Structure 1
């Protein structure tokens, strides 16, 4: 697909690398948005990356919209020569699947769901062809996930499953959004998993909850003192299923500022992943767990 540019009022330009999310589109978007930052174009005030696109905010009193568009198009060649190797980090995120808090919430909103007779996990397992909810949960946590963007709500990561596209989990959002979602809910919509960073409205299916804070505007959580948002695009996540006792223990450690997420340095090579997905994922697990 040819890169598409569109204006958002007179202060924004939206740059879309592809109509659908793929890791190739992500790397092209990342490469071009980094080039925009490096170019230090007069008048640019913000560059906001997304899954397969990015948006530039600029001051039209400093640079006219058409001139800004020309500057961006001149950098488009960087997307075609995108760097496909990323030095990043892999992070273990504990998840209490089928927890009582998201269960209570989803039951309050069944009339907004495609299948009012069951739970979100019942529905997700069935439409993805899994015989049991346990099998579906295993599919959700057994492979790593790639953080393709952070935003929409402060600190909320969108995560893309590192498997062949034919094996990706797909679940539609609720028919009508909820007015409530517990903080740190692990959700799912389309082909993306996410973590709700704050309590609020939402439309993604709810699978569980993590005791690990990912957003702290007070910056009092031990591992969020340097920056209030935990995730950044390019991070890789491995979900770790936990039970209620483990959830309570981690939550106590968080509240006492004793909890530190398991984080290891890792390298992600897109060409190597496309050539051998299972082998790449095995190496990522070795980087995280040292086995």
Structure 2
């Protein structure tokens, strides 16, 4: 679709690159948002990127709305010609699937679910045509995920599965949102995965929980001392299934300040990914494992 520009009130410009999520739409949105940031347009006070769009806050006393629109449209032209390559990082996130805490929570809210007789994992496996929950978990953790935006709740990443569209896991949200979701729940709604950074209400299906904090406003967590939010758009996530013993050990390491998530700096080229998705994913995994 053609990029859509919409003004919100007197001081916001909303830029929508696509009405459906894709890595191509994300790359265009990210490139444009970075271009606006790099251009230093006078009057721009904030840039908020999303999955396939972004919003700019500006001071209309400094720049006229028509002028900022022209500036951003010029940046769009440059972004369309830019190479779809980013320097980013891949991180391994341990996940205790089918854990007791999300299980207890989801059982309290079955009347709000499409399938009151089963669990979220059983429902997700069935509607995605997997023979078992184990097969579903293997698919969920078997390919990397791309962080397309961070927000809605502080530090919460929205993640897009890096496989062909026909292989992507899709599960609808609850019929009615829950009033409770455990902190660090690994969830899924529509085509997006997420990790709940804090405890609170939510409507995404609950698959498991990670012992790894991703948001710490006190900045006492060892790897969050520089910045309270772990994720940033463009990060690549690889889930690693763990059991209860590994989960407890990781929680203990977090408490002691010794937990260090495996992270590697990588170069991601969208064109290479589109030519060979499985090969690119295998290469990314190899880099994460030091191969």
TM-score by length of 1: 0.98
| Alignment: residue pair count | 291
SS of the residue aligned with 1:75? helix
Q: Could you list the runs of 5+ residues in structure 1 that have no partner in the other structure?
A: none
Indicate the residue corresponding to 1:19 in structure 2: 19
Pairing 1:70–2:70 present: yes
Q: Could you list the runs of 5+ residues in structure 2 that have no partner in the other structure?
A: none
Indicate the residue corresponding to 1:275 in structure 2: 275
SS of the residue aligned with 1:118? coil
Runs of 4+ in 1 over 6 A off after TM superposition: none
* CA distance in structure 2 between the partners assigned to 1:250 and 1:256 by the alignment: 10
Indicate the residue corresponding to 1:247 in structure 2: 247
* CA displacement, residues 222-245 of structure 1 (integer Å, 9 cap, x when unaligned): 000000000111111110000011
Indicate the residue corresponding to 2:187 in structure 1: 187
**CA RMSD between the two structures:** 0.9
* CA displacement, residues 213-267 of structure 1 (integer Å, 9 cap, x when unaligned): 0000000000000000001111111100000111000000001101010111111
User: Which residues in structure 2 correspond to 1:1-291 (within 5 Å)?
Assistant: 1-291=1-291
| Aligned 8 A contact 1:31 1:78 in 2 | no
SS of the residue aligned with 1:114? coil
Q: Which of 279-288 and 74-83 deviates more?
A: 74-83
* CA distance in structure 2 between the partners assigned to 1:289 and 1:242 by the alignment: 16
* CA distance in structure 2 between the partners assigned to 1:214 and 1:112 by the alignment: 28
| Aligned 8 A contact 1:112 1:174 in 2 | yes
* CA displacement, residues 37-76 of structure 1 (integer Å, 9 cap, x when unaligned): 1111111111111111110011122222232222222222
TM-score by length of 2: 0.98
| Aligned 8 A contact 1:27 1:82 in 2 | no
